């Protein structure tokens, strides 16, 4: 607050500022005393204000004179300041709003002080660019003030309020311009620091230099400005718009083909550049791929803006440094980060009238991206300190976006301009371009040509190129006569004039009297190829593709130079000069004999593409030296690509599918397609991956499959369909994963991990050698595994597909929302709320333009996904989680359902509440909801199983709610989904069943569908309401036929926790799922029997216990209610699993190998005969609680069981006869021996000593006892040392020691004689609790399993770590050593059983003699240890430092075999991998993996 004077009023703030500038003796603000006379007081106050104004302006004048003096070295600034001083002098007698003038004077003084130190920098910067524009604008404003002040009756004029306000506004404008100047020079000074670094950073934007209006390429395509004195009115209008601060931010110049848009913009760019207003420009061109890619527009605009404004450059570089590759995002995100944000942050430095020019937007290839770009532009333009000029044809997609209701650009329609004005300009143009003819055309001839041109400049330009070409000698007179000889039509049918002109040109080029028939065929082939090519070809590419001599192609093109353009130089890029020419040729009624049949010629080009690939594709296309390297790290890769991948081959690889889609299926096409899939698919993938086009590969195959099915009804080519499907799956898995970073891993990684039933594996595996061999039941039959997995590091609450199927979104507990591209898996949009509140509901709008998300905290956000901009939000009803969201079918409204049953309907664009909140208590904690198809009602399902139909406007019930559960029968609803047509409700129940209910009939119409083993946790309908997809707590996904209840696909397995949310793509080919396992997974779906996963014996639950048979042949595992027996040689099941009604906690083989026994949750000990596969007698019953551990005595005569009832029972097994079986009556004679051994707490583990006379036991209270087996007496104990529960005990085979593992994270080794610890306890630290312990057969090592999945092998004497083994992902509950001591098996809560080579893992010598792919040769040659083994990384790579050894697809990562872990048995079956390095071709030897000389084509049958 300002200090107060003696009168109690604040002092004039200006006085303190002016004191620094007033010379001694200068006038000061007079003091005024109060007066009792009001009139006198008023006069005094009025005089005081006038004195204050005069003092302020004098002080300002002094300060500006000092600045003027400082600017001697820079005349433009000196002149501007002098002009301002002069205007101040003229305005001394200004009256009116004196407070405003005082404030303005204060701001001038402040500006002066800030700008003065930079006067010399301005001089050094020169008078160009933004500085010149700013000073010019200052001069313009000063001129206007001078003219206004100099008008007659000066005093009276200025007393007019409007004039006073106007002059004041202009002074403020001048102050603003000086501040622009200050901002610019300040940033320019700072920008000089690190300028080279910034330029390097800016070049990462990869701007397209060819797209600039006056680039070298513009000369090649004969782009030019308007002929002098033509299009003057249009150019004047554009200049006026650019200069007008109040003018529209966007100017759209549109016109039909040939109206001269590009020429006008060329001239306008010249004027803008001359006047320092051309901020950036991009001239699109269909003829050049880089100039028709809309993603390049934003990058190029940003790059040019950075060179136009140093301030913008600093802001842009800041974004590029802080955000990872923002220029690689979608167009909306690109514009936001590299144009909009830097512009907004540098708005004070951008001069008025700066313009960005974009020409020929209609020539960009992707209509959807064009729409997105315009939407982005319109949404940001009004807020940016710059103007945009866009020129295009009035194409529907552009017209629609330019006519958006919330924004109106300035519009000029060239084809609506008065005919006489256009004719005058065309006449001038024709006079100029034909003036070099001899003889020069007469005025009458020019008039005729002008009349025929109508409003189409392209007609005049085509005539000029045909009649009087610049670079070729022709008979101009005869050509002109031919044009004039065409009979004229009415001016209203101008298209006919153009058609006749094109026909005349083609008749000349295809003159049958002058050319041989073969020449004419070549010419037709070349012309149609130019028209049908997906992107323009060079003459070289075209000659290679068409198998023609290049000189023949060039010769043909020379005859068509008036309608086609051939770029000069080596590239020789061929393109049409104007879009009207293809329109003419592709219309049979217009082009007649020259008609280009697109279907037929696309078939020709498809043949040629296949032929080109057959000819040039080969293994290791670019001679890559090592499979260890990522492509980006390969030296000189660009040169290798250029040398080995011709432009013709790249064209064929990128576009063969596009040509197929536009032709019919013939036997010849079918043959080439099959040959490609069988022999060249992997080489094609090499080309796409090396050139960064691999993400389009899967889309090409998907499109081809859809085309093939459409063209081959009734699936008459089932084998080819499967080939295409399998190839698509293979390519998709590769392109969605990190494997694509290294091209050699198409062979090194992707192929070995391909299912044996996949056509790609069957076609290519036999052509390779020296690759990792992956076998086992997990790969025998293709299963429904995920093709993409993304870790979210938080539980996934909701997933959803976009309606067009191109993207999918996920929302997580940690608040992260991601939208990913379906082809590449890359994030295209992300959001994180400030307080990281959980995203629990999401929905895309039906028109695919918006996404809404709701949080657990009650916030709702709505984004435009095309522009990546927030439309509304956060919209909040505090304390109420947003359980469900739904868009209306017209995408204009959003209904939200909150956790307290509140329903709200909002306007989508404003976020305004349209109806509600409706509060219905009986809807508490409701589930899904949807608008009915007419958007009038809302249908929803409560978690209590009630279905409600409510009026969307009033919230009133339109029908009685009905129930979809039967509480009396014990049914509990777990999840529900509503069909898109709002006619059905799918209900999932706690017991794992699914039912379908009819909304109108209020009855169950289908079900129950039975298939899941646990609670149904997620449901979703297909877009056609014919299928329902379900996810369960059993971690599987299934697709059901709604009408029949038949499983159409599944189970899809891979998640490791409950599935929370599901979505099926609109075309039904993909599933997206989110789970509590903190992952989002993408699955492929194909409508044939291959989606029904065949049964395969596997691990069915958490592995609680493992055992190794005495003869070393078998391994057993206990999980859930199953005891499985596997071959120790290959890991495959040897017998059907033994099943029990309760979970299995512990298993043990009898010493003779005839039986296997188990301790169970139902308090029993159960035994099975391994020969007969039958249960032996009845279960041993005696415990009153869970049996946690069992053990056979060494002679097999007794079994000890430890239980949670705190007791140990010794069971008599002496009825075994000679180890061949059980005597009759065994069940009746089974008995306990002696009394129970009693602990004070639950017994978790028991183990016999080798002599069978003693038993060691460990309990939950941390106590250990050693018992006399025969008498039941305690020999040692209670032995104390642990502070937590004892989970496992084991006795050394030599009988001298025993070991214990505990929940207190320690492992202790004890003397069997004294019960004392022989070494200090081993502390597990971060590894957590010790769940399992076992001795090696020679008693020298201890194998221990830990809570975090680690396995340690310890020296039994010292307790030192011999090796640490990573592989399991959850706690290791059990370990067992093979009889020969060379291996051990581990079982884990992660549902896997793994076999490990104990001898190799603990011996450096054996490690050196048994190298694997996990241990590169240079390490093996030294003294290797287990720490030298490569590590598995997120994303699937196994790498050692920067050497990338191999990559595993998502579906195999959990079952991946690790080094010296030859067998893994998991939920998907058995996996065996031979990693032996001696047999592998990897690293620098990788190129030897391909067998040359194989059959490479099909034989005709």
Taking the mean position of all CA atoms in its chain, how far away is CA 1223?
A: 68
Of the given ranges (527-536, 639-648, 1227-1236), which has the lowest mean pLDDT? 1227-1236
What does the pLDDT average to over 701-705?
A: 92
Question: Which residues lie across from 978 on neighbouring strands?
Answer: 985
Burial 1207-1241 (b: 16+ CB within 10 A, else e): bbbbbebebbeeeebbeeebeeebeebeebbebee
pLDDT of residue 604: 94
Per-residue model confidence (pLDDT) at position 1333: 96
Name every residue whose Cβ is closer than 8 Å to that of residue 1001 and which is 6 or more positions away in sequence. none
What's the CA gap between 619 and 629, in Å, rounded? 17
SS3 621: coil
Q: Is a pLDDT exceeding 50 seen at residue 1273? A: yes
Q: Give the 3-state secondary structure of 416-477.
A: HCCHHHHHHHHHHHHHHHCCCCCCCCCHHHHHHHHHHHCCCHHHHHHHHHHHCCCCCCCCHH
Using alpha carbons, list the distances in angstroms from residue 1020 to 362, 844, 943, 1057, 1467.
Answer: 39, 15, 16, 19, 25
| pLDDT value for 836 | 79
Distance of alpha carbon 362 from alpha carbon 400, whole angstroms: 13
- Cα 903 from Cα 954, distance rounded (Å): 11
Has residue 155 got a pLDDT over 50? no
Q: Which of 388-397, 670-679, 819-828 has the highest mean pLDDT?
A: 670-679
Cis peptide, bond prior to residue 917, ω within 30 of zero:
yes
Backbone angles phi, psi at 586, to 5 degrees: -85, 0
* Token couple for 443: 């005025």
Q: Is the pLDDT of residue 43 over 70?
A: no
pLDDT of 1166 over the 90 cut: yes
Rounded mean pLDDT, 1102-1131? 93
Question: Binning pLDDT at 50, 70 and 90, where does residue 20 land?
Answer: very low
pLDDT value, residue 281: 93
Give the tokens for residue 1111. Answer: 């003869």
Q: Dihedral angle at the C-alpha atoms of 878, 884, 889, 894, nearest 10 degrees?
A: 0
Quick check: 1221 pLDDT over 60? no
pLDDT band at 289 (very low <50, low <70, confident <90, very high): confident
Please work out, in degrees rounded to the nearest 5, the angle formed at the alpha carbon of residue 868 by the alpha carbons of 355 and 242: 10
Strand partners, 2: none
What digits encode the pLDDT tens for the residues 1359-1373?
A: 999 988 888 989 999
> CA triplet 169, 170, 172: central angle to 5 degrees?
65
How far is Cα 1482 from Cα 374, in angstroms, rounded to an integer?
49
Segment 836-858 mean pLDDT:
89
Position 624 scores a pLDDT of 95
Take residue 815 and report the two structure tokens written for it.
């608040």
The stretches of 1108-1197 forming alpha helices (DSSP H) are: none
Closest CA to 495 of 445, 444, 458, 532: 458
C-alpha–C-alpha distance, residues 914 and 1153, integer Å = 76
Q: Which of 201, 216, 377 is nearest to 297 (CA)?
A: 377
Residue range 603-625: mean pLDDT, rounded: 95
Cα separation values, 1207 from 1167, 1238, 1272, Å: 20, 5, 12
On the question of pLDDT at 967 being above 50, the answer is yes
**Lowest mean pLDDT across 877-881, 975-979, 1082-1086, 1090-1094:** 1090-1094
How many percent of the chain have pLDDT more than 70? 78
pLDDT, residue 1422, reads 45
Give residues with Cβ within 8 angstroms of 492, minimum separation 6.
Answer: none
Q: How many CB atoms lie within 10 A of CB 570?
A: 8
Tokens of 850: 């918006």
Give the mean model confidence (pLDDT) for residues 218-242.
Answer: 83
What number is the average pLDDT over the span 1457-1472? 88
| pLDDT at residue 912 is higher than 80 | yes
Answer yes or no: is pLDDT of 242 > 50: yes
**Banded model confidence at residue 601, pLDDT cuts 50, 70, 90:** very high
For residues 864 and 1256, the model is more confident at 1256
Instruction: Give the Å distances, CA to CA, from 588 to 512, 662, 665, 949, 1037.
Output: 21, 17, 23, 55, 52
What whole-number distance in Å separates Cα of residue 733 and Cα of residue 730? 5
Is the pLDDT at 1224 greater than 50? The verdict is no
| Mean per-residue pLDDT of the chain | 81
pLDDT the model gives residue 493: 44
Is the pLDDT confidence value at 1074 over 90? Answer: yes
The percent of residues in the chain predicted with pLDDT above 90, rounded, is 35
Query: What pLDDT is stored for residue 1215 in this prediction?
Result: 59
What's the pLDDT score for residue 495? 62
Q: Is 70 exceeded by the pLDDT of residue 176?
A: no
Q: Output the pLDDT for position 530.
A: 92
Pick from 568-582, 628-642, 892-906 the range whose average pLDDT is largest: 628-642
Phi, psi angles (nearest 5°) of residue 106: -60, -40
User: What is the average pLDDT across 255-272?
Assistant: 83
Partners of residue 863 on adjacent β-strands: 851, 870
Lowest-pLDDT range of 90-99, 225-234, 696-705, 901-910: 90-99
Minimal CA–CA distance to 853: which of 867, 835, 833?
833
Distance CA 182, CA 349 (A): 8
**Helical H runs in 691-788?**
694-711, 718-736, 745, 759-764, 777-780
pLDDT for the residue 907: 86
Give just the sign of the alpha carbon dihedral 931, 934, 937, 941.
negative
Higher pLDDT, 199 or 1486: 1486
Number of H helices, E strands in the chain: 43, 68
Residue 17 or 1068, more confident: 1068
The stretch 690-706 carries a mean pLDDT of 91
pLDDT band at 674 (very low <50, low <70, confident <90, very high): very high
Looking at residue 16, what is its pLDDT? 33
Give the mean model confidence (pLDDT) for residues 1296-1302: 96
Q: Minimum mean pLDDT among 47-51, 467-471, 576-580, 1199-1203: which range?
A: 47-51
Asked if the model's pLDDT at residue 1225 lies above 60, the reply is: no
DSSP 495: H
Of 1322 and 127, the structure prediction assigns the larger pLDDT to 1322
Radius of gyration of the chain (CA): 41
Q: Which of 60-74, 394-408, 765-779 has the lowest mean pLDDT?
A: 60-74
Residue 92 has pLDDT above 80, yes or no: no
Look at residue 343 and tell me whether its pLDDT is greater than 50.
yes
């Amino acid at each position: 607050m300002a200090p107060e004077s003696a009168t109690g009023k604040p002092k004039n703030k200006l006085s303190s500022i002016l004191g620094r500038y007033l010379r001694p003796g200068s006038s000061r603000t007079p003091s005024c005393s109060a007066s009792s006379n009001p009139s006198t007081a008023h006069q005094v106050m009025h005089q005081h204000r006038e004195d204050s104004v005069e003092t302020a302006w004098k002080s300002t004048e002094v300060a500006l004179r000092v600045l003027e003096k400082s600017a001697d070295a820079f005349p433009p600034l000196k002149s501007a300041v002098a002009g301002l001083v002069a205007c101040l002098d003229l305005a001394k007698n200004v009256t009116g709003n004196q407070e405003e003038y005082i404030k303005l004077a204060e701001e001038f003084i402040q500006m002066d002080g800030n700008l003065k130190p930079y006067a010399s920098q301005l001089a050094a910067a020169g008078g160009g660019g933004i500085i010149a524009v700013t000073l010019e604008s200052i001069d313009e404003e000063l001129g206007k003030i001078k003219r206004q002040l100099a008008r007659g009756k000066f005093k009276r004029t200025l007393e007019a309020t409007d004039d006073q306000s106007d002059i004041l506004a202009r002074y403020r404008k001048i102050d603003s311009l000086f501040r622009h100047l200050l901002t610019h020079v300040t940033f320019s000074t700072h920008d000089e620091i690190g300028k080279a670094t910034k330029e390097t950073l800016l070049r990462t934007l990869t701007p397209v230099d060819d797209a600039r209006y006056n680039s070298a390429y513009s000369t090649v395509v004969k782009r030019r400005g308007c002929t002098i004195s033509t299009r003057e009115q249009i150019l004047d209008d554009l200049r006026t718009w650019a200069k007008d601060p109040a003018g529209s931010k966007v100017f759209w110049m549109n016109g039909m083909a040939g109206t001269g848009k590009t020429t006008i913009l060329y001239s306008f760019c010249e004027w803008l550049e001359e006047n320092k207003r051309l901020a950036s420009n991009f001239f699109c061109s269909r003829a050049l791929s880089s100039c028709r890619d809309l993603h390049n527009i934003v990058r190029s605009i940003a790059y040019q803006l950075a060179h136009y404004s140093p301030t913008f450059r600093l802001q842009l570089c800041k974004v590029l440094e802080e955000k990872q590759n923002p220029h690689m995002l979608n167009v909306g995100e690109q514009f936001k980060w590299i144009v909009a944000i830097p512009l907004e942050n540098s708005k004070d430095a951008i001069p008025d009238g700066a313009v960005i020019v974009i020409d020929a937007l209609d020539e960009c290839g992707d209509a959807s991206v064009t729409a997105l770009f315009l939407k982005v532009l319109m949404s940001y333009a009004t807020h940016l300190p710059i103007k945009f000029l866009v020129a295009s044809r009035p194409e529907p997609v552009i017209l629609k976006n330019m006519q958006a209701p919330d924004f109106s650009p300035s519009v000029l329609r060239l084809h609506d301009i008065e005919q006489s004005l256009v004719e005058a300009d065309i006449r001038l143009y024709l006079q100029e371009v034909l003036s070099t003819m001899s003889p020069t055309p007469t005025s009458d001839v020019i008039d005729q040509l002008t009349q025929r041109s109508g409003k189409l400049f392209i007609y005049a330009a085509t005539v000029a190129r045909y009649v009087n070409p610049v670079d070729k000698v022709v008979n101009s007179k005869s050509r002109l006569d031919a044009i004039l000889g065409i009979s004229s039509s009415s001016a209203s049918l101008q298209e006919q004039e153009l058609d006749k002109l094109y026909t005349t040109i083609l008749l000349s080029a295809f003159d049958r009297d002058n050319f041989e028939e073969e020449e004419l065929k070549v010419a037709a082939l070349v012309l149609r190829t130019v028209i049908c090519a997906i992107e323009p070809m060079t003459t070289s590419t075209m000659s290679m593709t068409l198998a023609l001599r290049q000189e023949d192609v060039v010769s043909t093109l020379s005859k068509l130079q008036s309608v086609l353009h051939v770029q000069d130089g080596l590239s020789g890029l061929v393109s049409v000069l104007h879009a009207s020419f293809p329109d003419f040729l592709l219309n049979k009624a217009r082009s007649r004999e020259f008609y280009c049949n697109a279907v037929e010629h696309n078939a020709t080009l498809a043949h040629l593409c296949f032929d080109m690939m057959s000819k040039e594709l080969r293994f290791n296309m670019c001679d890559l030296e090592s499979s260890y390297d990522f492509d980006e790290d390969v030296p000189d890769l660009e040169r290798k690509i250029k040398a080995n991948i011709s432009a013709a081959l790249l064209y064929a690889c990128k576009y063969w599918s596009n040509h197929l889609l536009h032709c019919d299926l013939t036997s010849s096409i079918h043959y080439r397609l099959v040959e490609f899939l069988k022999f060249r698919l992997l080489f094609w993938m090499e080309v796409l991956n090396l050139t960064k086009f691999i993400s389009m590969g899967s889309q090409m195959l998907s499109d081809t499959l859809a085309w093939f099915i459409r063209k081959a009804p009734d699936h008459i080519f089932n084998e080819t369909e499967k080939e295409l499907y399998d190839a698509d799956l293979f390519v998709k898995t590769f392109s969605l994963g990190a494997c694509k970073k290294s091209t050699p891993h198409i062979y090194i990684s992707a192929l070995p991990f391909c299912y044996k039933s996949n056509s790609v594996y069957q076609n290519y595996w036999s052509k390779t050698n020296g690759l990792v061999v992956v076998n086992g039941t997990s790969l025998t039959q293709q299963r429904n595994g995920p093709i993409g997995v993304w870790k979210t590091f938080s539980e996934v609450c909701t997933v959803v597909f976009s309606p067009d199927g191109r993207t999918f979104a996920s929302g997580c507990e940690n608040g992260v929302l991601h939208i990913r591209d379906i082809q590449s898996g890359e994030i295209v949009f992300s959001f994180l709320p400030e307080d990281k509140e959980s995203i629990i509901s999401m929905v895309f709008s039906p028109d695919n333009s918006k996404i809404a998300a709701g949080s657990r905290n009650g916030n709702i956000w709505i984004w435009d996904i095309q522009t990546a901009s927030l439309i509304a939000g956060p919209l909040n009803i505090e304390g109420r989680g947003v359980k469900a969201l739904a868009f209306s079918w017209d995408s204009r409204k959003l209904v939200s359902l909150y956790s307290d049953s509140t329903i709200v309907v909002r306007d989508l664009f404003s976020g305004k509440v349209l109806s509600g909140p409706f509060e219905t208590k009986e809807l508490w904690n409701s589930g899904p909801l949807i608008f009915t198809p007419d958007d009038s009602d809302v249908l929803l399902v409560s978690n209590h199983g009630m279905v409600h139909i409510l009026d969307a406007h009033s919230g009133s019930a339109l029908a009685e709610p009905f129930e979809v559960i039967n509480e009396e029968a014990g049914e509990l609803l777990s999840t529900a989904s509503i069909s898109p047509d709002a006619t059905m409700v799918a209900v999932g129940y706690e017991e794992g069943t699914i039912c379908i209910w009819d909304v109108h009939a209020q009855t169950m119409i289908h079900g129950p569908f039975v298939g899941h083993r646990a609670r149904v946790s997620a449901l979703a309908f297909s877009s056609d309401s014919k299928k329902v997809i379900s996810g369960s707590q059993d971690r599987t996904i299934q697709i059901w036929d709604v009408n029949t209840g038949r499983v159409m696909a599944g189970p899809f397995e891979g998640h490791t926790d409950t599935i929370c949310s599901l979505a099926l793509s609109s075309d039904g080919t993909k599933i997206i799922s989110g789970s509590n396992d903190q992952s989002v997974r993408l699955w492929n779906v194909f409508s044939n029997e291959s989606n029904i996963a065949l049964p395969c014996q596997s691990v069915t639950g958490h592995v609680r216990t493992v055992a190794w048979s005495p003869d070393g042949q078998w391994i057993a595992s206990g999980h859930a209610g199953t005891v499985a027996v596997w071959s120790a040689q290959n890991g495959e099941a040897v017998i059907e699993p033994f099943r029990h009604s309760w979970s299995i906690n512990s298993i043990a083989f009898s010493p003779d190998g005839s039986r296997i026994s188990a301790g169970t949750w139902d308090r029993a000990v159960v035994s099975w005969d391994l020969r007969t596969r039958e249960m032996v007698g009845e279960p041993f019953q005696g415990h009153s609680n869970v049996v946690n551990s069992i053990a056979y005595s060494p002679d097999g005569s007794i079994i000890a069981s430890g239980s949670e009832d705190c007791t140990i029972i010794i069971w008599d097994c002496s009825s075994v006869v000679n180890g061949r079986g059980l005597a009759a009556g065994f069940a009746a004679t089974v008995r306990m021996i002696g009394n129970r051994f009693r602990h004070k707490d639950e017994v978790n583990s028991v183990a016999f000593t080798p002599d069978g006379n003693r038993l060691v036991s460990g309990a939950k209270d941390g106590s250990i006892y050693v018992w006399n087996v025969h008498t039941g007496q305690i020999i040692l104990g209670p032995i104390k040392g642990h502070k937590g529960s004892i989970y496992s005990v084991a006795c050394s085979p030599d009988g001298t020691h025993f070991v214990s593992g505990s929940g207190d994270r320690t492992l202790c080794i004890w003397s069997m004689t004294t019960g004392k610890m022989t070494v200090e306890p081993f502390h597990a630290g971060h590894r957590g609790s010790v769940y399992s312990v076992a001795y090696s057969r020679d008693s020298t090592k201890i194998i221990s399993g830990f809570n975090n999945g680690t396995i340690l092998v310890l020296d039994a004497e010292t307790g030192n770590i011999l090796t640490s083994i990573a592989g399991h992902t959850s706690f290791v509950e059990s370990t067992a050593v093979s009889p020969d001591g060379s291996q051990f098996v581990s079982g884990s809560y992660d549902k896997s059983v793994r076999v490990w080579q104990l001898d190799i893992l603990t011996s450096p010598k054996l490690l050196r003699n048994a190298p694997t792919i996990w241990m590169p040769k240079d390490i093996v040659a030294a003294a290797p240890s287990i720490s030298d083994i490569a590590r598995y990384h997120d994303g699937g790579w196994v790498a050692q430092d920067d050497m990338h050894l191999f990559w595993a697809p998502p579906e195999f990562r959990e079952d991946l075999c690790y080094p010296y872990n030859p067998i893994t048995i998991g939920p998907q079956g058995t996996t065996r991998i031979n990693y032996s390095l001696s047999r592998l071709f990897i690293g620098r030897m990788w190129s030897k993996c391909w067998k040359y000389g194989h059959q490479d084509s099909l034989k005709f049958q």
